């Protein structure tokens, strides 16, 4: 059986992990982790029979990516120096169910436990020293045919890794990709018999029910179609008096106001988010990529903000996004969790920041000091 160390090109010597000290936890060094019955049922639902051990592993990976989401609360607690918890404790993951928000340690522990129940697979958890008091975890596994990293949370930094042949210009982790119909590329490593490209494709389809695409262009065109349909419906719903008023005005074939155009296009985009059942970090990632490829027209300056909330008696942060457009003086508030866009004022933003109700995710994105 292969060992994950057989290929020095991906033992933290090159690429995104270069120079990062790491610990490797194998069987015997980890407890028996507890996974909820709800999560097990959701993962195994629809799993084909007679799969190889590699196919089972990749199917479970895609299922987890499609039913869990990233917990952006971690960004703000890390910034404030607050403890997230011991992800390697036996019961830390027992409350995670479909729809739960997780971080790298949660995913690593859950995936490790699922893999440990598959014959022919040796799973490990890798702990990377971030050098700033925080660590990054990722799962890996090896069989007699492959030895692979499984990076669901972070972006893979090279076009040469992964089996989806997707350029890094698509800025999305595998949790967002799996939900958005885009081929994942976070699984990479040694593939002695070149089995992984087919395994990745087939198990993506089996786990998500979709034929994968390679980027966000499909979502771009879907949103564009909804925008056009909405515009046509608006015209059909106009009253006779509205039409008579327009008859006496200069003909308008396009929306002239930049702010109105952005708002209508964003409204169509929100419908697409509902269609894909995207929210939270995955919804923000979809916005970012559609903005990058020009769906909204012009450029959106976005600033990520942590909104302090009280949930089950605990202080948590929900990410909201302040948006400013280069072509309009208006300022907007996008809530990726609630899937809403509302206009806001600079004064209101400043008030909530100064009160401590909001905090910046990244200080270099400050719009108000």
CB 334 within 8 A of CB 280: no
Averaged pLDDT score across all residues of the chain: 83
The pLDDT score that the predictor gives to residue 253 is 38
Question: Of the spans 14-18, 113-117, 150-154, which averages the highest pLDDT?
Answer: 113-117
* SS3 category, 297: coil
The pLDDT score that the predictor gives to residue 137 is 87
The pLDDT score that the predictor gives to residue 133 is 63
How many residues are present in the chain? 369
The dihedral over CA atoms of 294, 296, 300, 304, expressed in degrees to the nearest 10, equals: -110
The pLDDT tens digits of the residues spanning 45-79 come to 999 999 999 999 999 999 999 999 998 888 887 77
Q: How confident is the model at residue 250 (pLDDT cuts 50, 70, 90)?
A: very low
> In this structure, what token pair is assigned to residue 240?
């006779």
The pLDDT score that the predictor gives to residue 53 is 96
Based on the number of CB atoms within 10 Å of its own CB, is 296 exposed (0-12), middle (13-18) or buried (19 or more)? Answer: buried
Q: How confident is the model at residue 131 (pLDDT cuts 50, 70, 90)?
A: low
Phi, psi (degrees; rounded to nearest 5) at 102: -130, 170
* SS3 category, 253: coil
Whole-angstrom distance, CA of residue 175 vs CA of residue 187: 12
The pLDDT score that the predictor gives to residue 276 is 95
More confident residue, 29 or 186: 186
The pLDDT tens digits of the residues spanning 153-182 come to 887 544 344 554 444 446 789 999 999 999
What is the rounded average pLDDT of the residues 329-357?
A: 93
* C-alpha R_g of the chain: 23
The pLDDT tens digits of the residues spanning 218-249 come to 999 999 999 999 888 877 765 555 545 554 45
The pLDDT score that the predictor gives to residue 74 is 82
The pLDDT score that the predictor gives to residue 20 is 54
The pLDDT score that the predictor gives to residue 368 is 64
């Amino acid at each position: 059986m292969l060992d994950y160390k057989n290929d020095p090109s991906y033992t933290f010597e090159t690429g995104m992990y270069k120079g990062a000290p790491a610990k490797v936890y194998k069987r015997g060094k980890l407890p028996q982790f507890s996974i909820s019955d709800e999560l097990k049922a959701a993962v195994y639902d629809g799993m084909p029979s007679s799969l190889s051990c590699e196919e089972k592993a990749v199917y479970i990976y895609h299922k987890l990516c499609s039913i869990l989401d990233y917990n952006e609360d971690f960004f703000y607690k890390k910034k404030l120096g607050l403890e997230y918890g011991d992800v390697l404790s036996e019961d830390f993951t027992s409350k995670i169910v479909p729809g739960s928000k997780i971080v790298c340690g949660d995913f690593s522990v859950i995936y490790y436990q699922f893999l440990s129940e598959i014959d022919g697979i040796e799973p490990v958890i890798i702990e990377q020293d971030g050098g700033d008091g925080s660590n990054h975890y990722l799962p890996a596994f090896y069989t007699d045919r492959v030895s692979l990293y499984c990076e669901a949370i972070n972006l893979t930094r090279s076009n040469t890794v992964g089996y989806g042949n997707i350029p890094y210009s698509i800025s999305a982790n595998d949790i967002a990709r799996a939900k958005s119909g885009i081929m994942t590329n976070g699984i990479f490593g040694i593939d002695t018999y070149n089995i992984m490209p087919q395994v990745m494709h087939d198990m993506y389809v089996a786990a998500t029910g979709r034929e994968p695409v390679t980027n966000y262009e499909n979502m771009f065109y879907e949103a564009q179609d909804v925008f056009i349909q909405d515009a046509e419906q608006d015209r059909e719903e106009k009253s006779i008096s509205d039409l008579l008023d327009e008859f006496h005005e200069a003909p308008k074939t396009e929306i002239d106001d930049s702010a109105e155009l952005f708002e209508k296009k964003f409204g169509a985009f929100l419908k697409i988010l509902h269609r894909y059942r995207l929210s939270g970090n995955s919804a923000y990632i979809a916005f970012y990529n559609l903005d990058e490829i020009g769906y909204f027209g012009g450029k959106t300056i976005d600033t990520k903000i942590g909104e302090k909330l009280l949930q089950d008696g605990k202080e948590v942060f929900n990410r909201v996004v302040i948006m400013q457009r280069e072509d309009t003086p208006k300022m907007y508030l996008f809530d990726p969790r609630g899937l809403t866009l509302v206009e806001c004022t600079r004064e209101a933003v400043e008030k909530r920041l100064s009160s401590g109700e909001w905090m910046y995710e990244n200080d270099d994105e400050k719009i108000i000091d």
